[in-house]
Amino acid sequence: MPAKIIDGSKIAKSILEEIKHKVKNMKQKPGLALVMVGSNPASEVYVNFKEKDSKEAGFYCERYNLKEDISEMDLLKLVTELNQKPEIHGVLVQLPLPKHLDEKLVTNSILPQKDVDGFTPLSLGRLLCEDTIMAPATARAAINLIESTGIKIEGKNAVVVGRSNIVGKPTALMLLEKNATVTVCHSKTKNMAEFTKKADILVVAAGRPNLITKEMVKEGAVVIDVGINRVGGKLVGDVDFEKVKEVAGFITPVPGGVGPMTRAMLMENTLKAMELSKKFSK
Ligand code: GUN
């Protein structure tokens, strides 16, 4: 039997509707600052979506399009100003930044309670200690999509392919927190299929089209494809969707899977950041 397709767009839409409804009844609106440096076309698309989502959700949104050659000092100054603005609850600096800017330094300058990306060392460290304040949106999207299938995570063999700080590592930590037995594979893993074949839950965030073939997937597995790759003008994930869906139990499509869900999770994080602001201002 072919896999059930996990409709990320549909789930995300209902989450966004719920947020919109909540925000409608709020006197003070959640505030999100979107900072974009230069004109990376992919980043522009992502930031446009984030701006559109936040406006549709009824948030207050400030967008900063900064020149490619902005100095590190000026960018840090802006982040510090946004950290101090009471109407801004979430600060997001779109990555990648131009080479002359230190991404870690800039990201780390965002106040932890305004870190809606969950990328600062404090946010990631708290995730490690099971004391999460803000988890990265893509990792949260992957977990929510797994849970949307009704399959319990506890006790399952989960394999995460990819070890980035913003997707692979936090997703692995969140699966571990939910009592899965977690294996992390990466570009230096030998015989990756040996591991992926045992996965009841397979999350792939490697950025390599068609990395995961049908032969690498266990029958009935839940397959979450985080990859977004442009191949011949078409968006594809890291999983050979057409073939893998013949063996998997559940699978996310690209586009329409993790992407829209990640956007919804960012809006949830912003809402949470507003709640946190009340705690931090006391
Ligand atoms: N670049 C690609 N994905 C992301 C993301 O989730 N957040 C930020 N800030 N930059 C990104």
Percentage of the chain exceeding pLDDT 90: 97
Residue 277 in contact with ligand 1 by CB distance below 6 A: no
Quote the CATH superfamily of domain 136-259.
NAD(P)-binding Rossmann-like Domain (3.40.50.720)
**Among the ranges given (49-53, 97-101, 131-135, 154-158), the one the predictor scored with the smallest mean pLDDT:** 131-135
Residue 44 in contact with ligand 1 by CB distance below 6 A: no
The pLDDT tens digits of the residues spanning 18-28 come to 999 999 999 99
Cα gap 150→226, rounded to integer Å: 20
- Which ranges of the chain would DSSP assign to H, the alpha helix? 8-24, 41-56, 72-84, 103-108, 121-128, 137-147, 168-177, 192-196, 241-244, 258-280
Asked if 141 contacts 186 with a C-beta cutoff of 8 angstroms, the reply is no
DSSP element (H, E) containing 60: strand 60-66
Of residues 10 and 279, more confidence is placed in: 10
What pLDDT is stored for residue 279 in this prediction?
82
Q: Which atom of ligand 1 is nearest to the CA of 92?
A: 9
The pLDDT tens digits of the residues spanning 184-196 come to 999 999 999 999 9
Rounded average pLDDT over 226-238: 95
Residue 116 in contact with ligand 1 by CB distance below 6 A: no
84 belongs to the catalytic site: no
* CATH number of the 29-111 domain: 3.40.50.10860
**Closest CA to ligand 1's atom 2:** 95
* Sole residue written with tokens 């692979």: 168
How is the chain split into domains, by residue range?
29-111, 136-259
Strand partners, 225: 204
The reply to whether domains 29-111 and 136-259 share a CATH topology is yes
What are the Cα distances from residue 146, in Å, to 72, 139, 167, 201? 39, 11, 15, 8
Rounded average pLDDT over 214-233: 96
pLDDT of 282 above 60 = no
Residue 117 in contact with ligand 1 by CB distance below 6 A: yes
What pLDDT is stored for residue 278 in this prediction?
86
Report residue 27 as tokens. 């006197």
117 belongs to the catalytic site: yes
238 belongs to the catalytic site: no
The pLDDT tens digits of the residues spanning 73-103 come to 999 999 999 999 999 999 999 999 999 999 9
CA 215 / ligand 1 centre spacing (Å): 31
pLDDT of 208 above 90 = yes
CA 194 / ligand 1 centre spacing (Å): 31
What pLDDT is stored for residue 53 in this prediction?
97
The pLDDT tens digits of the residues spanning 258-273 come to 999 999 999 999 999 9
Residue 94 in contact with ligand 1 by CB distance below 6 A: yes
Asked if 94 contacts 37 with a C-beta cutoff of 8 angstroms, the reply is yes
